[in-house]
Chain A
Amino acid sequence: MAILRVKDVSKRFGGLRALTDVNLNVEENTVHAIIGPNGAGKSTLLNCLVGKLMPDTGSVLFDNSSVLGLEPFQINQMGISRVFQTPEIFGELTVMENMLIPIFAMRDGAFRMHAYETIANEKAVVEQAEAMLEEMNMADKREMSAASLSRGDKRRLEIGMCLSQNPRLLLLDEPTAGMARADTNNTIDLLKQIKDERDITIAIIEHDMHVVFSLAERITVLAQGAPLVEDTPENIRGNPKVREAYLGEAA
C-alpha cells in the first residue's frame, strides 16, 4: 500500500514552472529515492510534502489524509519527520536536550505548559532519550553543546532526533551533501541499519549515485519539474533516457 500519494502537483515561482503535474507513490516500508539534476525541483517537491510550500494544484495524501494547508508541526504530528540538507539541530542546547525535545513533542503534542515539572523527574522520557543516544553511538557526547559536534555527528543527531519520534515516513533532503567520504559511508550504514531494524518508510532526495544505489529500492527520476521514469535501481541504471538526462551528465 502506498503511504504517500502525490497527485498532479504543480508549483510555479513567478514564471518558472518548478513542478509540473508530478505523480508519485511511495510504498510503505520501502526506501524510495528521488534523483535528478540540480534545479529539477526535488527540494520544491519535498517542501510541498511537509507544509513549507503550498502547491498550486494537485493533492498530497499521507496515509489517505491530505496534508495540504497544514502547518509543518501538524504534519510532523501525523508521523512525517524531515532531515534537512544542512543539519537543523538546536545548536545552543546540549546533545541530550536535543534528543529530549522530539520525545516530549511526541508525548505531549504541539504545546503543553509543563512549566512546573523538572526534566530530571520525567524518567520515561529521559530513558528513551538515553536509549536513542546509545543507538546513535552518541551517549558519550550527551553533555556537549550540539553546535560543537562535527558535521557527521550533527547529521547523526538530527537523524536520531527524527527516529526518536518513531515516524512512519522519514524524508531526507540530500543527507550527505558536502560530506567527506567517510562521513557519507557512515551515514549510508546508519540508514541501512534503520531500514533493516525498523518499520519505516524512507524517501530520500540524493545527488550522490553511490548513496542512491546503496539504499534505494525504488527510484524516481525528476527532470525539469516532472517525473521522467520510476523504476527499480537495476532498470534505472540501464535506462538510456535517464543516462541522457542525468547519469550521462554525472559520468
Chain B
Amino acid sequence: MLGLNKKDTSLLIIVGLLTLLAPFILNPFPEGSAMAQFNAGYPDLMQRFVIFGILAIGFNILFGLTGYLSFGHAAFLGVGSYSAVWMFKLLSYNIIPAIALSVVVAGLFSLLIGFVSLRRSGIYFSILTLAFAQMSFALAYSVLSNPKFNLTNGETGLQVYADDPQILQGANAPDLPHLFGLPMRATYTMDVGAWSFDFNAGYYLCAVIMMVVFYLSIRIFRSPFGMMLRAVKSNQQRMNYTGLNSKPYTLAAFVISGMYAGLAGGLMAAMDPLAGAERMQWTASGEVVLMTILGGTGTLIGPVLGAGFIKYFENIFSKINDNVLHGWFAFLPDGLEDAVVFLIHPFIGKGWHLTLGILFMLVVIYLPGGLVEGGQRLLNRLKRKKTGTDDAPSGKTEPAE
C-alpha cells in the first residue's frame, strides 16, 4: 500500500491507530483514582508527544542513516517557532502560513549551518553544530533583540500583541492559532463512567502531520537516496571511489532533518503562540539525541518511542512529590514509610532527570539498539516459548525496523 512493502505498511497502520486512539490509550485510569496521575492523555502532553516525535524522526534521518551526530538541532526548532510567531504577528493566526514559513526558514538556515559544519566529520562536526546552535541562542537571547531591531524579543520571548499588523486576520477569526477558523485549543471531552477522554484539535492536527512525515521518512529509508545515506555512514572512501559525491548526500540529509525540526518548532508555536530563546539551548539539542538513542538509532519507529518515553517521564515523574509518595506508602509503619520516601525522593519531582539518566545508561549498556531492540528481544523470547525451540537467533537488531 502507498508504495510500501507489507511490513512497513503494517507498521504505518499500527502507528496510525495508536495516534488516532491516543486519547483513550493514554488515559487508562479513571478520573480521581490514585493512578490518575499516570494518565498522559491531556491535550498539552499529547501534542508534545507527536511534536517531539516529528523532531526525532527528522533527527534520525541524519543521525540514524548517515551517522553524523548533530548537537545543534534545537537551533532549527527555535528558528521554526520564531518564524511561525512572526507569521501570526504579520499575517494572521491561521497556522498554515506560519508552519509553511517555519519549514522554509529552517531549511535555509540548516543549509547554511550544514554547508559549513559538514566540512568536517566525526566529533568536529558535532562541535561545529553545537557552536552554531549556541551562537543562534545568543543571537536570539540578546543580539537580535534591541530597540532598533527587535526580531526575537529577547528574554520575554516573541509573542503576538494587540497592536501587531495581522493584516489578514478576519474580524470573526479566533484570536488564537486556528486552522481556517478551527481553534487549536478546541477540545471535546467525552465522559464515560468515571473516565474522561480529551479530543483536541491541535493534537489531531499534529498527529496527522506526524503520520505524513513518518510516511515520508519510511519512503526515504527505503529509497536509493536512503541507501546512499547509509553508505555515507558505512564507508565514505568507497563511496567516493565509486563515483558518488558524499557531500551533497550528507547535506541533503542535514537539510531534510533541519526542516523536520523547523516543522516541529512551527507546530509548537501553533499550539501555543510563543517563541523563546531557551528552545534553542544546547540542552534541547541534547534531548533529541537522547530520544533517538533511547528509542533505537536508525530504526523507523525508535525515535518516536524515545520521544514519547522522555516526554512522559518529564511530565509525569516530575509531578510526583513527597505527599504523593506518603500517600502510596501509607500502609507501611511510620518509620519505614519515611525511610522509603526518603530513598525515593531524589528520583522524583525535580529529580526526574536522575531517573531518566539511570534508565538511559541501562538502555545504552544493555540494549544498544534502544527500546526497539528491547521489544524485539521480548518478541523473540515469547515466540521461542510458544514454539518450544531454542534455535532462534536472539537480540540481533534489524537496522531499519
Contacts and interface: CB of A to CB of B under 8 A. Distances in A.
Interface string B221-232: 011111110110
Interface stretch (A14-22, A61-69, A106-114): A106-114
B5 A120 contact: yes
B248 interface: yes
Given A116-B219, A116-B223, A119-B224, A101 B240 contact: no
- How many residues of B sit at the interface, in one of the four size bands? 20 to 34
A73 B241 CA distance: 5
B243 A77 contact: yes
A62 B224 CA distance: 30
B219 A118 contact: yes
Interface stretch (A91-99, A190-198, A212-220, A230-238): A91-99
Interface in A148-162: 161
Interface in B13-71: none
B252 interface: yes
Contacts of A90: 230-231, 234-235, 238-239
B241 A93 contact: no
Interface centre among B223, B230, B238 (most CB of A within 10 A): B238
Interface centre among B223, B224, B237, B245 (most CB of A within 10 A): B224
A120 B223 CA distance: 9
Contacts of B252: 113, 115
Interface centre among B3, B219, B228, B243 (most CB of A within 10 A): B243
A119 B242 contact: no
B243 A73 contact: yes
Given A89-B235, A101-B228, A113-B252, A71 B240 contact: yes
B399 interface: yes
Interface of B is mostly: helix
A105 B225 contact: no
Contacts of B224: 100, 104, 108, 112, 114, 117, 119, 122
Contacts of B235: 88-91
B222 A118 contact: yes
B244 interface: yes
A41 interface: no
B134 to A, nearest CB: 31
Nearest to B226: A115
B233 A105 contact: no
B244 A110 contact: yes
A207 interface: no
B198 to A, nearest CB: 36
Contact of A105 (B5, B242, B399): B242
B285 to A, nearest CB: 25
B227 A93 contact: yes
- Which 4 pairs of residues, A with B, have the shortest CB-CB distance? A76-B243, A115-B225, A110-B245, A90-B234
Interface of B: 3-5, 219-220, 222-228, 230-231, 233-235, 237-245, 248-249, 252, 256, 399
